[in-house]
Chain A
């Protein structure tokens, strides 16, 4: 079961701000889903290998070629927060 502290912790890991009231709401709704997920515990899976994806292809390589790419202005066009050809963000800490 997820506790209030768990919700706060995963909120921090996922970088989603959660206020006091939301913490309680999330706790209830997430726990009801987790309770449902618990049913897979019934299955014995010690000897089963996990399936990450079903495409039977592994390690796709290609030649390292120089190709045309999007111009810098185009990539920066979707934000106002830019300076000297770079994205601008507030200081980290």
Chain B
């Protein structure tokens, strides 16, 4: 069986053989993995596939295997969020996106590695050790959905789900040479996804191509009353797959090509913009002056929300507990032992930013800056249909290279986190290589205009071959 298959090819294979055989072949590839992409491989996957064979392949994803980030709840599989504090925890309910996937007939292969509680851009802060980038095993796959991106790039799943709070789907997609999509805030239910920063995050697909991304969006998107920020946009994602960008106006924000950008990244992204121009689109430079303040605003808001969200991990109801003489000591010791260094730093900074005397200076100020960043997007997108820029200013870095200095690592999110502040949709698609490492083109659109974003991404993909390249080290 071919190692890398599109979802359409997987479905063809299931027709020729069976869902059980297809799942077995993915499990075999996973068994030989060199990348530590999975935290848990499901012991129920084969059984699930067999049942789908018996029931006659009903549903748009009947028998198609998928990998799930380890912060999205699946009944019966541990949900660790890459943390010791959730040791032994098995969710008793499915996330909304999992209910949808199971109803569509998908087979969950397992749960993928991630930065602890999705806090990171390298998948190095996981309690289960780092995941390797399939293109260079000494490099990070990006993060925080590094496991999901890496297993897709390595042919260990046809596609996967991640979550994107400040770039956590798009960053690993760019670093691993796959497609990663963050939908508009509200387009996909967050019910059953462990919260890091609620006002910023969305669940999003990681796939080998734009078509598979749209296939997955058609299954997971839509209204869910259990998420009070859920919005029914009624988007038909696969209908957006039109190979035509004639007449589309592209904005190129200079602020996304800032100091420290790798020259090959800059060139690859401009080549992509010119490619779209040759296919009938037009482009113009746009100015977004508040983008340079987005990173600070993003981190203050994310840490503040995290300090509140992660208060629930206290050793009382599930996971790891450190025993002590009284409740305060039990909780304080449990959290000291159960959380890793980066998670503790973010909780402490978030607590500080919300504490009496500092709330207005940090948290409230960051929320006001968020308004200005949002206005930059509104203004730019009132003149053009899309924005194009690099997803990441640099290719994947070495494991261990940035982990000691939190600020250096935060700075790598400079082009991805503004999108979460504004809530707009954004996709990363492969657009080139530098020294054998993939480069990602980021395409951003208006809120709930996923169709135009997918159309541009699809057209670019149909007219280039970057998405067909496979990492030689895991071939």
Chain A: residues with CB nearer than 8 A to chain B? 2, 6-7, 10-18, 26, 29-30, 32-34, 36-37, 39-43, 45, 48-55, 57, 60, 62, 70, 74-75, 77-79, 81, 87, 89-93
Contacts and interface: CB of A to CB of B under 8 A. Distances in A.
A55 B422 CA distance: 10
Nearest to A13: B351
Interface residues of B, number: 67
Given A15-B311, A40-B365, 20 more contacts: A7-B348, A13-B351, A14-B347, A14-B351, A15-B314, A15-B328, A15-B335, A16-B335, A30-B348, A33-B349, A39-B296, A43-B372, A45-B368, A50-B371, A53-B185, A54-B447, A60-B228, A75-B92, A78-B89, A90-B329
User: What DSSP secondary structure best describes chain B's contact surface?
Assistant: helix
Interface in B334-360: 335-336, 339, 344-345, 347-349, 351-352, 355
Contacts of B300: 37, 40
B356 to A, nearest CB: 10
B317 A78 contact: yes
B120 to A, nearest CB: 14
Given A16-B336, A16-B344, A37-B300, A89 B316 contact: yes
B348 A53 contact: no
Nearest to A26: B348
Contacts of B296: 36-37, 39-40
A10 B92 contact: no
Given A37-B299, A89-B330, A10 B355 contact: yes
Interface string B84-96: 0000111011000
B369 A45 contact: yes
A40 B366 contact: yes
A62 B224 CA distance: 12
A36 B407 contact: yes
Contacts of A74: 92
B327 A89 contact: yes
Nearest to A74: B92
A29 B406 contact: yes
A26 B343 CA distance: 12
User: What DSSP secondary structure best describes chain A's contact surface?
Assistant: loop
A92 B183 CA distance: 44
B328 A92 contact: yes
Contact of A6 (B321, B323, B352): B352
B333 to A, nearest CB: 5
Contacts of A48: 368, 371-372
A74 B318 CA distance: 12
B404 to A, nearest CB: 10
A28 to B, nearest CB: 11
Ordered nearest first, which 6 A-B pairs have the shortest CB separation?
A50-B367, A54-B423, A78-B318, A53-B199, A17-B336, A45-B368
A43 B293 contact: yes
B345 A26 contact: yes
B324 interface: yes
B325 interface: yes
B374 interface: yes
B371 A49 contact: yes
A41 B314 CA distance: 35
A62 B225 contact: yes
B412 interface: no
Contacts of A55: 185-186, 229, 231, 423
A52 B228 CA distance: 14
| B307, B349, B355, B366 pick with most chain A CB within 10 angstroms | B349
19 contacts: A14-B335, A15-B328, A29-B345, A33-B349, A33-B407, A40-B297, A40-B366, A48-B371, A49-B371, A52-B199, A54-B422, A57-B231, A79-B318, A79-B321, A89-B327, A89-B330, A90-B324, A90-B326, A92-B327
Contacts of A78: 88-90, 92, 317-319
A40 B349 contact: no
| A40, A52, A78, A93 pick with most chain B CB within 10 angstroms | A40
A16 B339 contact: yes
| B351, B364, B406, B423 pick with most chain A CB within 10 angstroms | B351
A40 B363 CA distance: 11
B314 A32 contact: no
Contacts of B366: 40
B464 interface: no
A9 B372 CA distance: 33
B290 interface: yes
Contacts of A81: 316, 321
A43 B290 contact: yes
